[in-house]
Amino acid sequence: MSEATPESRWDLTPLYSSPDATELAADLDEARRQAAAFRSDYSGKISGLDAGGLLAALRRYEALSELIAKPQLYAHLLFASDSGDDTAKCLSQQTAEFANLMSRELLFFNLEIMAVPDETFAAVSADPCLESYRHHLAHVRRFKPHTLTEREEQLLTLKNLSGVEAFTRLYDELSASLTYSMELDNEVREFTGEELLSLLHHPDATVRERAFATFLKKHEEHEIVLGSVFNTVILDHGQEIELRGYADPMAPTNLGNELTEGVVGRLMEVSEENYGLAREYFTHKAKLLNLPKLKNTDIYAPLPGSDRKFGFGEACELVRTAFRQFSPAWEEIITAFFADRRVDIYPRTGKSGGAFCMGMTPSFLPYVLLNYTGNLRDVATIAHELGHGLHFVLARRQSLVNYHPCLPLAETASVFGEMLLTRHLLDTESDKAVKIELLCAKIEDIIATTFRQNVLTRFEERIHRERQEGLLTSTRLCDLWWEENGRLYGDAVEMIEPYRWGWSYISHFIHARFYCYSYTFAELLVLSLYGQYREEGPSFIPVLEEILNGGGSRSPVEAAKLAGIDLEDPGFWQKGYDFLGELIGELKGLVGN
Ligand SMILES: [Zn+2]
């Protein structure tokens, strides 16, 4: 499935001409020099600054942070596109160590912002010149009760390099290095992990099962490393929770996301109350496939007679049209990703799996990594990642501290972009069979971003809790995974035995604690926003753009309020699931039972 050419790989030269460019080394030197100057100018002086002085310090801090980030972002992209390349590996490690050193040097700044007495802070931050920094400053100060002394923070940051960060890196390198050999069409072939996972969309049930089993069994072979990485990362988090006095493992994520435990808890409970909807769909899908019961390898199976493949050019045209119909300006923004070669398109050995969009800093345009294999879901992934890209481009009007949206809002444009694509495809399609296929794909996608993410989050909660009691054996990790998945699938889906190892390839567990509920949050929020767009028409566009333009300058509660949504309202989340129920109803109407 490879149409790979040099043009299908991204062009990183707008950042640096090569890994050994003299500009890169010069940036590192300049950053080191500026960090030392910043420290000597401001260390011990933050609480004495007036509003104008604090503003100047914040602006210098942002410019310096951009300078530090650029080499690291470049190295990260280089490494993601070829983790087997020694130059990329060394540069990635070197810049990570450098960023670690710089963050220790600059730690004092946020610590001193936290230490400003409440009354002084209230007076200084009330000054109009700090308006665009007020949210950021308040957010920094919220971590005060969980922050240690500067020396302790420095030591923790230093030891992370050879601790949790080293295990994360090992996990990434191991995952990217795995290749699989499997028989397909009477021929034994080598596959990347991405290629095997994409075979879950193969029309032949035995191929789907063989592909997923091959993928999972290879992970089982690496049980020692994977089990050790999971245990270490979870142990590290547990120690951090204790040291910093958080109430539970999810608390730092919620604080970072500016969400209360109540809002997140309600989101998860409502998701569980609606697991029955997923089971209803699975039972229905089994009928469509003429199977007595689904296996979990059948969930994404194509319907009989549909094996539609999309060339990459055709896929891009569909995504562009869908975005254009919403807003011509949006189409222009996403088209530039291809014109500038800021997209790495096809799978290959050594390249990171999955797909991501990397927001850089306001001065540099974002990059997108895909592993395009041509099925309908890959087309949706283009819409998803370019939605992220659009969000980062719009947020460039913010300064660095307000540029990255907080996690629960980070999936807003991506999920909305996918919705635009689905609606476009459904509206332009006259063939009933294709419409059924599209609806199934959308429903499966919503199930994957809501219920499945909820299962992942429940599993993550349990492994963190149990790790506090002692080592988690691989068998125990497998058992917990099996149980939480079983709560969703119930009697409607039979899980294949190797799926016990399904936890081991979910990189979010390693990269970002409790990231997964952000997907559930975003999907349900976007279903509501999309519903509003259908009701209100074009007058809704500026509302959504205002949310996206804001980047990370607002909390999720404030951003949702712009669209008149109250996240504290317990009934809010149910609306998203009601929308899913409607889609399932629409599907039944088309199928005729
Ligand atoms: Zn995303």
Q: Give the strand pairing for 356-358 and 367-369.
A: antiparallel
Instruction: Give the mean pLDDT of the chain.
Output: 94
pLDDT of residue 101: 93
Query: CB under 8 Å to 549, separation ≥6 — which residues?
Result: 394, 395, 397, 398
- Sheet containing strand 367-369, edge to edge, reads 343-344, 367-369, 356-358
pLDDT of residue 2: 46
Q: Which amino acid is at 83?
A: S
- Residue 403 alpha carbon to ligand 1 centre in Å: 16
Q: Quote the DSSP letter at residue 178.
A: -
Query: CB under 8 Å to 97, separation ≥6 — which residues?
Result: 161
- Residue 438 alpha carbon to ligand 1 centre in Å: 20
Cα angle for residues 246, 252, 255 (degrees, 5° grid): 110
Cα angle for residues 358, 363, 369 (degrees, 5° grid): 20
- Whole-number Å distance between alpha carbons of 593 and 321: 33
- Residue 531 alpha carbon to ligand 1 centre in Å: 20
How far from the centroid of its chain's Cα atoms is residue 369's Cα? 12
Q: Which amino acid is at 234?
A: I
Are 233 and 168 spatial neighbours (Cβ–Cβ below 8 Å)? yes
Q: How confident is the model at residue 429 (pLDDT cuts 50, 70, 90)?
A: confident
| Token pair of 550 as six digits | 């804001």
Total length of the chain: 593
- Residue 412 alpha carbon to ligand 1 centre in Å: 8
- Whole-number Å distance between alpha carbons of 223 and 231: 12
pLDDT of residue 248: 94
Query: CB under 8 Å to 40, separation ≥6 — which residues?
Result: none
- Residue 75 alpha carbon to ligand 1 centre in Å: 21
Q: How confident is the model at residue 5 (pLDDT cuts 50, 70, 90)?
A: confident
Q: Which of 373, 44, 52 is nearest to 197 (CA)?
A: 373
Q: How far is CA 241 from CA 236, 309, 465, in A?
A: 9, 47, 11
- Whole-number Å distance between alpha carbons of 78 and 11: 10
- Residue 18 alpha carbon to ligand 1 centre in Å: 29
- Residue 488 alpha carbon to ligand 1 centre in Å: 23
How far from the centroid of its chain's Cα atoms is residue 19's Cα? 27
pLDDT of residue 146: 97
- Whole-number Å distance between alpha carbons of 385 and 366: 10
- Residue 183 alpha carbon to ligand 1 centre in Å: 32
Handedness of CA 36, 41, 46, 51 (dihedral sign): negative
Q: Give residue-wise pLDDT tens across range 492-528.
A: 999 999 999 999 999 999 999 999 999 999 899 999 8
- Whole-number Å distance between alpha carbons of 409 and 553: 11
- Residue 20 alpha carbon to ligand 1 centre in Å: 32
- Whole-number Å distance between alpha carbons of 27 and 36: 14
Q: How confident is the model at residue 242 (pLDDT cuts 50, 70, 90)?
A: very high
- Whole-number Å distance between alpha carbons of 401 and 546: 18
- Whole-number Å distance between alpha carbons of 400 and 60: 11
- Whole-number Å distance between alpha carbons of 351 and 330: 29
Q: What percent of the chain has pLDDT over 70?
A: 99
Q: Which residues of 27-51 are buried (b: 16+ CB within 10 A; e: fewer)?
A: bbeebbebbeebeeebeeebeebeb
Q: What percent of the chain has pLDDT over 90?
A: 85
Q: Which of 121-125, 172-176, 451-455 has the lowest mean pLDDT?
A: 172-176
- Residue 539 alpha carbon to ligand 1 centre in Å: 26
Region for 49 from its dihedrals, namely left if φ exceeds 0, alpha if ψ lies in -120 to 50, beta otherwise: beta
Query: CB under 8 Å to 516, separation ≥6 — which residues?
Result: 453, 454, 456, 457, 460, 508
| Token pair of 214 as six digits | 């091959």
Q: Which amino acid is at 555?
A: S
- Residue 518 alpha carbon to ligand 1 centre in Å: 10
- Whole-number Å distance between alpha carbons of 199 and 210: 9
Q: How far is CA 592 from CA 278, 288, 428, in A?
A: 19, 11, 21
Are 288 and 440 spatial neighbours (Cβ–Cβ below 8 Å)? yes
- Residue 515 alpha carbon to ligand 1 centre in Å: 11
- Residue 385 alpha carbon to ligand 1 centre in Å: 6
Residue range 420-429: average pLDDT? 91
Q: Which of 196, 213, 291 is nearest to 497 (CA)?
A: 213
Q: Which of 1-10, 18-27, 163-172, 386-395 has the lowest mean pLDDT?
A: 1-10
pLDDT of residue 592: 80
Q: Give the strand pairing for 187-192 and 343-344.
A: unpaired
Q: What backbone torsions phi and psi does residue 209 show, to the nearest 5 degrees?
A: -70, -40
- Residue 186 alpha carbon to ligand 1 centre in Å: 37
- Whole-number Å distance between alpha carbons of 4 and 124: 56
- Residue 388 alpha carbon to ligand 1 centre in Å: 7
- Residue 522 alpha carbon to ligand 1 centre in Å: 9
| Token pair of 6 as six digits | 């040099």
- Residue 381 alpha carbon to ligand 1 centre in Å: 9
pLDDT of residue 593: 57
- Whole-number Å distance between alpha carbons of 381 and 319: 10
Q: What backbone torsions phi and psi does residue 472 show, to the nearest 5 degrees?
A: -95, 115
pLDDT of residue 400: 97
Handedness of CA 218, 222, 226, 227 (dihedral sign): positive
- Residue 508 alpha carbon to ligand 1 centre in Å: 12
Q: Which of 515, 559, 566 is nearest to 252 (CA)?
A: 515
Q: Give the helix/strand (H/E) hosting 28.
A: helix 22-42
Residue range 280-293: average pLDDT? 96
- Residue 355 alpha carbon to ligand 1 centre in Å: 8
Q: Quote the DSSP letter at residue 46.
A: G
- Residue 356 alpha carbon to ligand 1 centre in Å: 7
- Residue 336 alpha carbon to ligand 1 centre in Å: 19
pLDDT at 4 over 80: no
- Residue 113 alpha carbon to ligand 1 centre in Å: 32
- Residue 537 alpha carbon to ligand 1 centre in Å: 25
- Residue 334 alpha carbon to ligand 1 centre in Å: 15
Q: How confident is the model at residue 307 (pLDDT cuts 50, 70, 90)?
A: low
Q: Give residue-wise pLDDT tens across range 545-578.
A: 999 999 999 999 999 999 999 998 878 899 899 9
Q: Which amino acid is at 61?
A: Y
Within the chain, what is the greatest distance between any pair of CA atoms?
75
Q: How far is CA 18 from CA 9, 23, 65, 191, in A?
A: 15, 9, 22, 30
- Residue 511 alpha carbon to ligand 1 centre in Å: 14
pLDDT at 1 over 70: no
- Residue 176 alpha carbon to ligand 1 centre in Å: 20
| Token pair of 312 as six digits | 């990459």
Residue range 525-532: average pLDDT? 89
State the DSSP string of 398-414. S-GGGTSPPHHHHTHHH
